Chains A and B, each alone.
Chain A
Amino acid sequence: MLITIVNGLTMASLLFIIAVGLNLSFALLRVANLAHGAFYLFGGYVGLSTMNYTDSWILAILVGGLVTGVLAFLLEFFLLRKVRGDNLRETLVTLSVAFILADLMIVIWGGNPRSIAYPEMLQGPVHLGGIVVPKLSVFIFIFAVVIGVLLWLLLNKTKIGMVIRAGVDDFEMVSALGTNIRFVFTAMFVVAGFLAGIVGVIGGSHLMMSPGDDWRILTYALLIIILGGMGSFGGSVIAALIMGFIYSFGSLYFPEFQLFLMFAPVALVLIFRPKGLFGRGLA
């Protein structure tokens, strides 16, 4: 029971970092980046290779994040900018990139499930007031909290955050007021890709990585966004927690319907609050 809660929290932490990046870039650019799951897995695989060459987990996380950040930049700068304004084509572009990346990953890293070795410092259990918890889970939870707090501070306490929040509400007005909103778009997209890559490496250590995980993670992230509400930071936190717990309890008690159960709260929310739990509803 307790270990299930811990697993749920760990999963929620991972999903939160993935979903919040996707959510912010989605709210700002109005592009559902369907390549986000592919970024996650690509980051994980790059981290795996880095780990094999250098034996440094920290370096693996950084390299994984940087590579996906660059990928996100290339996608935004060279492809999405060409079709800006046409929502459907933007989404289709990200979808085709996701397929190209998915196949590329099978070519480079093969189709077998892989896992990233993590440093001894994080292996083994830790005792927290009578509960035995894996050290890695504690690390992931703290990591997610740190990232969450940093993002929250960035969004709510800095000038950049002001621009981003204003852009979510009305990006035409923001650009009319003299902000280079295109640059903010690209930056946000790259940050989202960077976060996805980082989580890819950490998630690859905690879970397994295999082809098809990119779509699984993307589905979870999209579920969280719809549940929490587009462009809502707090909504992503709550929704990630709900999804994380459904994931862990579902796999324990109803392994045959685990993904189906994850859809249930989303269906309820869609009936009673179509904008999501905390969404303000974007046009």
Chain B
Amino acid sequence: MNQAVKWVFYLIVLLFLAAIPFLMSDFFTTMTTRVMYFSLMAISFAFLAGQVGLISLAVPAFLGVAGYTIAILETREILFFPYSAIAALGMVLVAAAIFGIFVNRSQGIYFLMLTLILGQIVWAVALQWASVTNGSNGLIGITRPEVMQFTVAGQEVGFYYILLLTVLLVTFGVLALTRSSFGMKLKGIRESESRMIMLGYPVMRMKWIAFMISAFIAGLSGIFLVYYIGVMHPSAIDLDSAAMVLIAVIFGGIYSIVGAIIGMGIVQTFEIFLSAFTSRYMIIIALMFLFVVMYAPKGIMGSIYKIKFMDALYQKWYTGRKKR
């Protein structure tokens, strides 16, 4: 694709996203916000799954660590924004560093099982440690910081714009990371871990760092979630939300960061529209998921990349080499 056309395309998308609060209904804006903060979680998942080849079901656990840190600090009036958010991200990094040591001793299915257990543990602590987390009642009454409440032309857009900026920064940051030499080494681990060890790379440490990066992004998602809905509840980090992220990323195509965002948009849209008809929409989403896993394992972006110039883009972005 022509460079100029590409930039014009990006600009139009950006302008449209920025104009959503003014052009569209409140419902649509809310939906977009929801998709955006869940997209952060999807990016966090897709980064680990696509680049390093580790399927982590503990992504919502880090959302929970960040969300609960903010909720506990602010409802007990210990710390406030921005210090509470910094503390939350610090907690996430500490938790990820500790968990990372354990889970990185395993690979493949074992990694998936361990992270599943880890996610369940964090969920159980959130549910059982009632004196701190308020158990199944959840923590309520977290207010959005004033920084996020500015208005433009009478429309309250502060939160939306800060979230949009974060999502864009994270997306481009992760895309840049996948193309950096560090990203290349991660891909090397994905393709053949033993060969990377043999070549003398500190594989364990690199996987550990990748795990922390992923957790950091999930933590960002947790901060926005807790400020947006103002409630922190164990159901936000249960296995269903891990499944939601997993399903979204598989829909979008596991090797694609952009696909993760698109997939999350699709899943959230389905959830909203199906929940209007039935409260048991998970059956339908799970059936679709089963279908995708069985018949289209590379997801939607996988199908799109079959188109010729998109394939060139794919090669450039994700495999790090031009197609000969």
Contacts and interface: CB of A to CB of B under 8 A. Distances in A.
Interface stretch (A43-51, A103-111, A152-160): A103-111
A255 to B, nearest CB: 7
B176 to A, nearest CB: 27
A99 B121 contact: no
B289 interface: yes
Interface in B85-137: 102, 105-106, 108-110, 112-114, 116-118, 120-121, 124-125, 128-131
B246 A95 contact: yes
B46 to A, nearest CB: 14
Interface string B280-302: 10110111011001100100000
A103 B282 contact: yes
B55 interface: yes
Contacts of B293: 83, 89, 92-93, 96
B42 to A, nearest CB: 16
B124 A87 contact: no
B206 interface: no
- Main SS of chain B's interface residues? helix
Contact of A270 (B102, B112, B121, B128): B102
A222 B131 contact: no
B204 interface: no
Contact of A95 (B243, B285, B287): B243
B270 to A, nearest CB: 14
A275 B58 CA distance: 21
B120 A256 contact: no
B186 to A, nearest CB: 17
B31 to A, nearest CB: 23
A32 B112 contact: yes
A86 B43 CA distance: 24
B294 A93 contact: yes
Nearest to B128: A256
Highest count of chain B CB atoms <10 Å: which of A30, A79, A83, A256:
A256
A233 interface: no
B239 A215 contact: yes
Contact of A96 (B55, B113, B289): B289
Interface residues of B, number: 38
A28 interface: no
B121 A32 contact: no
Interface stretch (A55-63, A163-171, A191-199, A258-266): A258-266
A87 B109 contact: yes
Contacts of B130: 256
Contacts of A86: 297
Contact of A259 (B108, B124, B238, B289): B124
A97 interface: yes
Contacts of A96: 286-287, 289-290, 293
A99 B240 CA distance: 8
Contacts of B124: 258-260
B226 interface: no
A92 B254 CA distance: 13
A222 B118 CA distance: 11
A56 B55 CA distance: 44
B236 interface: no
A88 B294 CA distance: 11
For the residues of A in contact with B, the DSSP-based class is: helix
A33 to B, nearest CB: 11
Given A91-B109, A104-B283, A223-B117, A259 B290 contact: no
Interface string B296-318: 01000000000000000000000
Interface string A211-240: 010011001001101100000000000000
Nearest to B118: A263
Given A96-B290, A104-B283, A270 B105 contact: yes
A103 B286 contact: yes
B250 interface: yes
Contacts of B131: 256
A267 B282 CA distance: 33
A91 B112 contact: yes
Nearest to B239: A215
Given A88-B108, A99-B243, A255-B128, A219 B283 contact: no
A107 B286 contact: no
A259 B121 contact: yes
Contacts of B106: 270, 274
Given A88-B108, A96-B289, A259-B124, A32 B113 contact: yes
Given A32-B113, A93-B294, A222-B113, A100 B125 contact: no
Contacts of B102: 267, 270-271
Contact of B109 (A83, A88, A102, A216): A88
A216 to B, nearest CB: 8
A219 B128 contact: no
B121 A260 contact: yes
Interface of A: 30-32, 34, 79, 82-83, 86-89, 91-93, 95-97, 99-100, 102-104, 106-107, 212, 215-216, 219, 222-223, 225-226, 255-260, 263, 266-267, 270-271, 274
What 7 A-B pairs are tightest by C-beta distance, nearest first? Answer: A259-B124, A99-B286, A96-B290, A103-B283, A219-B120, A103-B282, A256-B129
Interface of B: 55, 102, 105-106, 108-110, 112-114, 116-118, 120-121, 124-125, 128-131, 238-240, 243, 246, 250, 280, 282-283, 285-287, 289-290, 293-294, 297
25 contacts: A30-B109, A31-B109, A82-B294, A88-B112, A93-B294, A96-B289, A96-B293, A99-B243, A99-B289, A212-B238, A215-B238, A216-B120, A223-B117, A226-B110, A226-B117, A256-B128, A257-B128, A258-B124, A263-B117, A263-B118, A263-B121, A267-B102, A270-B105, A270-B106, A274-B106
